[in-house]
Amino acid sequence: MSINVNGKPWTVAAAPDTPLLYVLSNELRLQGPRFGCGLAQCGSCSVLVDGVERRSCVTPVSAVEGKSVTTLEGLPMWYAVMKRLERVPELHPVQQAMLDEQAAQCGYCYNGMIVKAAELLSKNPRPDDAQIRRAMNGHLCRCGTYPRIISAVRRASEMMAVTR
């Protein structure tokens, strides 16, 4: 089977019903999507499939054949394509904003947080706090860093507004 991840085609050996997460972690050795619950409850394993956030722990790899998968690692490139930037930035604005806010503690949930926030801002570039909370509500943070994540999404939104 062949899947497209972060702009590149990959031939994978996994059985078609294998959840995408295990293919990304073990065959592609990507570190962004990571196991959290295996039940689509927490958002730890989130990826973008054709720009839409999906839980890779419950998505069979066969379901993304012919689609475009973007992981945390591919977000800067995804952003550059979307914004038609001449150069791929080092970080997606959401990643930069998370750093600027010093938001993370253990950081394990930040894969999902960043992927989800990037999806949100691609659809709604200027979300208000209520919209941010609603969009992010399916993602859990056990360290309790929600307040700084909200600030970071706001900050990223402002950064994107000034990026050509």
Binding residues for another protein, rule: CB under 8 A, are 14-15, 18-19, 22, 25-26, 29-32, 34-39, 41-42, 44, 71-73, 91, 95, 98-99, 102, 104-111, 114, 132-134, 136-137, 139-150
Identify which of 39, 21, 40 has the alpha carbon closest to the alpha carbon of residue 31: 21
Give me the helix-helix angle, 75-82 and 110-123, nearest 10°. 10
Whether 46 and 53 have beta carbons less than 8 Å apart is answered as yes
Q: Rounded CA gap, 13 and 27, in Å? A: 8
Whose tokens are 């929600």? That residue is: 146
Q: How far is the CB of 2 from another protein (least distance, A)?
A: 19
Closer residue to another protein (CB): 74 or 84 = 74
Closer residue to another protein (CB): 51 or 138 = 138
Q: How far is the CB of 40 from another protein (least distance, A)?
A: 10
Q: How far is the CB of 93 from another protein (least distance, A)?
A: 11
Q: How far is the CB of 148 from another protein (least distance, A)?
A: 7
Q: Where are the alpha helices (DSSP H) in 84-127?
A: 93-100, 110-123
